[in-house]
Structure 1
């Protein structure tokens, strides 16, 4: 194994915890028997690799303090679902877990997987064992390793797409952690006989794993439904024009959304086109890319440990030379990429053999029942009745796959009777909107997001209608997050509201529906009740002055930061 860090490197606290964890064992087993409601900070860091975060209900913190009791702790568990594909049995097990151990809801993430919130410490092991029974793991759902690998959600089956998924699963295998800790702790697996065996468990990750998380995504040229430029490694498939197979892949490197508001030299970054590889070269080249981040990434300060900072510090030329030295040959130049759509695969679409799939919009990715919409219940009924496959998308939506023509009317009737709206019932602005969970569970959130976003979107829909922008050819994508970390990928949206303090947001403008352009921070600390009115003069000017086919993002960059800020500051003063 290549050296991961020099002996002189000063490791951060988290790196030391990983190093001493005995390949992700920590003292988790002992903690499961100690009778407490929560894990220690050291075990919390290790548990991330097992696919879970310790959280507490922040709405109840004040009450807990007043009563002199500890916080209301629980775990959020995140699965690893490569490409977001599930069969009916797997989905129904998640549904069961949400009711039995969680808070009764399922959350689709932007990494095409499920999060289950509200699981008590005492129920974690049972939860993971239930998932194991349907061949689902949470190992790799979180932590400083290659996370869940995502893929374009279009479920159309042909030789080309089958090859993409085959290559994806090969990469899942090569990047999966090899430690036996997960099986030992959660599945009562066989223990290692001696400490001397432990270093052999992780030929890629070693004893301290990666400096930070590493995200990989696949898509097809022309279809950027996964926001490919937001990934540490983006893999764009090119079809062979003569045959139904993949000719090769263009690789993009160094994408990432996270930033820290108080530190100016942290920033979002779009991935840079690096090279073109054949399907036979993909696995090795991808492995060496991850190894370079392993060997050279910042292990002293986690704020600068993502892959993007290594690339910008050393330079793309250095990186390519290092990569070519490792693979032993000169890499081909990347293909010129053309993007036709960044929209999700919603609505009715035909498949082969008289079958269809139905893409359902899931507001903010939350599958639950409310008084008006019984989404969770009707999905359970449909899957128990018809055993459809499920495709989760990276825009937090869900596709029902394998619906026969004679079932279409009945499926649609059941959905509507449950109060579930189909995509045709929503505005384009809503269909392209996303928000992160934020409060009350996320420990990093500084402001609300998911809970307030529906009301914010109502006001934004009204504003778009009043300015004549409701039905433009390229819709305006609006996203909200509760902090600057960027879990809903706000920095490539047309309009983004990024939480800074309770009730106040920074406004970013100028991304786009195609996901290949960063936006700009125009105003800071805007009160939530003024978000729509502050944007009114900009949207009105866009409606009145935009050139034919000029997107809102292109308009924003044409007007420029100063021009946008002047229009919006006038609205703030007014």
Structure 2
């Protein structure tokens, strides 16, 4: 055992005990290679076996199957219809029209669902790719300058960046930092290129340092990073491990406040797990950004819980060792002290749906995409509409962390043409309410293997029910930030909503109340394991009270806390379950 390993083992900030099996898996993976190549050649099964089922996640994929037909296939003595979901790596969510046309074509020709899904991780996903098409998928993306490296698994994932194009100078600076951070924290192994792109296999010698930042067993758990430009909190900083809050002098970027330790996932019945806000460590200068990003990641690498994966995220490391201890270690690793935080304020986090004009005299159209699902139906041709725009658009597209799409950099001459295409295909709908535009869900059934209840398929009609309640109480133009997830893993960010539903089972949800408009407060459990119909009964009563007793401009989440309907979650470890 190396001297470094000895030091880590004796470090009081490291959890002692038998490591979780994922640690063995990563250690034996030959730096994320495993036996994926051999599995690809196996035509007996449509899936991946043993460790490879987990390893393909670090290559941007999750193995799934169609759960709607799983039981029927079992009756026929067939294995589940295995396929993969791929999540692309797109720091900041910017994609060109030519890239879009290529992914649109692949979705049409090589996915089971024929759709493209925009995700809360500010990128796109393919769903339903069968094993014979997986390598083609990666090679197709590579040809257009896109990859899926490290968008899942125990690594730093796709780096988010505020997508608001109005402040274009500041946004461009922040976006470039999102790219730099993403590249700096990527796995350095050549496994992705070797397996999917037929890259030359590079033999590794014993003792060779392949992963200087992530380490030979990578991170204890997934790690999420963002760059955000106040006053917009459109990427929900408190859902992420590491956040760089852009600070400007009014004209240009001068540095970042660094927020550490956010995360939303939890486990039902385990009070040692909880959603948690990130802590503000202080201000850093631009020149130190990558050093601080690396120091936070390596501290979590060395101190994160490798014994119990349920407590392995950065948020639990902070609560276990103490914020001051973690912060001091980051300063020691960089050789730079945090300065006092600079003032900033988040005032909103939704996307500005519709047209806005940027300071570059270009126009930017934010299209609301319900659930982020772009597909053609009998009523609307959303996917075809975006394709038609891509065929003539001279600017770029920006995928948002709220599952929407911005057609950015539109000239005055093209504005009317693009608007007409959007209207013709149902991408612009004047009847969409504020409530619908502020509601969100994760994928859940039929593809997510973790789903306990419906979310994406459930949301549209349920929002209609909520719209009815708002109209009943004469506030049809107002909204409540409403989110649904099919399980407690946090993908739909329900644990930062004013009303969040988290799936427990078929048509059973936990109902949480008390988030706020700015996205700076975790909600608290209000009702446990109730049906969607029961949720509406509670919402009817609560909205009535809100209308009757609220202060001027008071949002729903603030109201329920002020009235004592739920207690405020200030310190998650103490308050969330208490």
- Normalising by structure 2, we get a TM-score of 0.93
- Figure out how many residues of one structure are paired with residues of the other and give that number: 558
Q: 1:29 aligns with which of 33, 37, 50?
A: 37
1:6-29 Cα deviation digits (max 9, x unpaired):
396522111111110000000000
The 2-side partners of 1:449 and 1:313 are apart by 33
Determine the structure 1 residue equivalent to 2:153: 143
**2:364 equivalent to 1:357:** yes
**2:438 equivalent to 1:428:** no
**2:292 equivalent to 1:282:** no
Inter-CA distance 197–85: structure 2 relative to 1 (3 Å threshold): farther
The 1-side partners of 2:23 and 2:102 are apart by 35
Determine the structure 2 residue equivalent to 1:106: 116
1:42-57 superposed matches below 5 A = 42-57=51-66
**2:469 equivalent to 1:463:** yes
Q: CA deviation at 1:490?
A: 0.5
Q: Is the 8 A contact 2:210 2:216 kept in 1?
A: no
Q: Is the 8 A contact 1:180 1:201 kept in 2?
A: no
**2:238 equivalent to 1:235:** no
Q: Is the 8 A contact 2:524 2:566 kept in 1?
A: no
**2:143 equivalent to 1:133:** yes
The 2-side partners of 1:436 and 1:523 are apart by 21
SS of residue paired to 2:564: helix
The 1-side partners of 2:546 and 2:359 are apart by 42
Determine the structure 2 residue equivalent to 1:568: none
The 2-side partners of 1:200 and 1:313 are apart by 29
Q: Is the 8 A contact 1:199 1:207 kept in 2?
A: no
**2:562 equivalent to 1:558:** yes
Q: 1:259 aligns with which of 252, 257, 266?
A: 266
Stretches of structure 2 lacking an aligned partner (at least 5 in a row) = 11-15, 569-578
Determine the structure 2 residue equivalent to 1:174: 184
The 1-side partners of 2:197 and 2:474 are apart by 57
Moved more, 309-318 or 552-561: 552-561
**2:232 equivalent to 1:223:** yes
Q: CA deviation at 1:157?
A: 6.0
Q: CA deviation at 1:138?
A: 0.3
Q: 2:503 aligns with which of 499, 504, 519?
A: 499
The 1-side partners of 2:330 and 2:18 are apart by 26
The 2-side partners of 1:240 and 1:290 are apart by 28
Q: CA deviation at 1:353?
A: 5.3
Inter-CA distance 109–199: structure 2 relative to 1 (3 Å threshold): farther
Inter-CA distance 278–359: structure 2 relative to 1 (3 Å threshold): same
Q: Which segments of structure 1 move beyond 6 Å, counting only runs of 4 or more?
A: none
Q: 2:23 aligns with which of 8, 11, 15?
A: 15
Q: CA deviation at 1:357?
A: 0.9
User: What do you get for the CA RMSD once the two structures are aligned?
Assistant: 1.8
Q: CA deviation at 1:354?
A: 4.2
Q: Is the 8 A contact 2:92 2:162 kept in 1?
A: yes
1:119-518 superposed matches below 5 A = 119-156=129-166, 158-192=168-202, 194-196=203-205, 199-241=208-250, 244-352=251-359, 354-422=361-429, 424-472=430-478, 475-518=479-522
- Normalising by structure 1, we get a TM-score of 0.94
Q: CA deviation at 1:562?
A: 5.8
The 2-side partners of 1:445 and 1:220 are apart by 33
**2:529 equivalent to 1:525:** yes
